[in-house]
Each structure stands twice: as C-alpha cells, then as structure tokens.
Structure 1
Amino acid sequence: MIPFTDEELIAPVRSVINKVRPSLALDGGDIDFLTVRNSKVYIQLKGSCIGCASSGTTLKYGVERQLKIDIHPEITVINVPFGMENDIDKL
C-alpha cells in the first residue's frame, strides 16, 4: 500500500513527468499528466508517441520506472487514449 494520498502524490508525480519529458521530446513525443486516482497515475502520451510501437515500453520502462524509483515502487501508470479523458473511471 502506498503511504501517500492521491493529493500528496500530485506534486512529486508532476516533477517526475517533467524529468522524463525531455527524453520523449528527443523522438518527437510528449506527455501530459492528467491525474492520480487510487495511487494510479493517469497520463497521456502525445506527439510521435501516439501509435508508436515502442510507446508501451516507454510507458512501463521509462515513465513508470522513474516514478517507482523516485516516489514509490507500487505506483502504476495508465495511458489514457485521446477522447477518454472524461472517462478515466472506466479505464
């Protein structure tokens, strides 16, 4: 169990997202932080990351790995497809 509330996770998660953003930008990609719910971080990959065959690897071994290292090992990341931003609870 993660010993932080969702609200307490927002600032550190934003910091990590900003930390990984430059590496995504090198390949023409980007990332938006959407929210944290039940210790799950909801993001949206953008730019060339959309439809890229490596986007799943980027998500798990780039973004999620860095969040686990910097914040807590039980954090998970979920990429929200475009158009589903208002339906996060359904993911």
Structure 2
Amino acid sequence: MKEEVQAALNKVRPSLQADGGDVELVEIDGGVVKVRLTGACGGCPMSQMTLKNGIERVLKEEVPAVESVESVE
C-alpha cells in the first residue's frame, strides 16, 4: 500500500510545488495516512482545505484502502 500512496502523492505534488510547498509521507497506520506539509504549505492557512479537498480526495480515489489523511508536524 505504501507504494500506491506514494504514487498518488506524486500526482498531487506538482500542484503543491507550484505554490512553493510539498508533501511528505510520514507513515501509514491502518487506513490512516499521515503526511507532513512542507515549504509554503506548512504555514498556509488553507493547508487543511488542501489536505482534505486535494490530497485526501486523490488518495481515496487512487488507493481505496485509505480511510483518511492527517497532517503531522
């Protein structure tokens, strides 16, 4: 599952990088994917919207075993 999640993150990465940010896979715990938003995304007030409406949506579409995505420091 880790490879599938990483491949899905690679699909959203260009959008984040275009805004000066990035995403890093921290761990997968059951169906919960934990990521770290870095660069401009780390301190952006829109980061939770990006996390849920962007990253989580794509991961759930690409990897059905994903239940949710959480941001960690």
Question: TM-score interval w.r.t. the shorter chain?
Answer: over 0.9
Counterpart for residue 10 of structure 2: 18
**Residue 30 in structure 1 maps to residue 6 in structure 2:** no
Tell which structure's C-alpha radius of gyration is larger: 1
Runs of at least 5 residues in structure 2 that lack an aligned partner in the other structure: none
TM-score by length of 1: 0.75
Unaligned 5+ runs, structure 1: 1-8, 82-91
Alignment counterpart, residue 48 of structure 1, candidates 34, 40, 43: 40
The offset of 1:45, in angstroms, is 0.1
> Which runs of 4 or more aligned residues in structure 1 lie more than 4 Å from their structure 2 counterparts after TM superposition?
none
How many Å separate the matches in 1 of 2:71 and 2:58? 15
- In the alignment of these two chains, the number of paired residues is 73
Superposition TM-score, scaled by structure 2 size: 0.93
C-alpha distance in structure 2 between counterparts of 1:26 and 1:63, whole Å: 15
For residues 3 and 66 of structure 2, the distance between their equivalents in structure 1, rounded to whole angstroms, comes to 17
Distance (Å, rounded) in 1 between the aligned partners of 2:72 and 2:66: 19
The whole-number CA distance in structure 2 between the counterparts of 1:74 and 1:11 is: 13
Greater RCO (CA < 8 Å, at least 6 residues apart)? 2
Greater share of helix: 2
Identity of aligned residues (%): 40
Question: Which structure dedicates a bigger proportion of its chain to strand?
Answer: 2
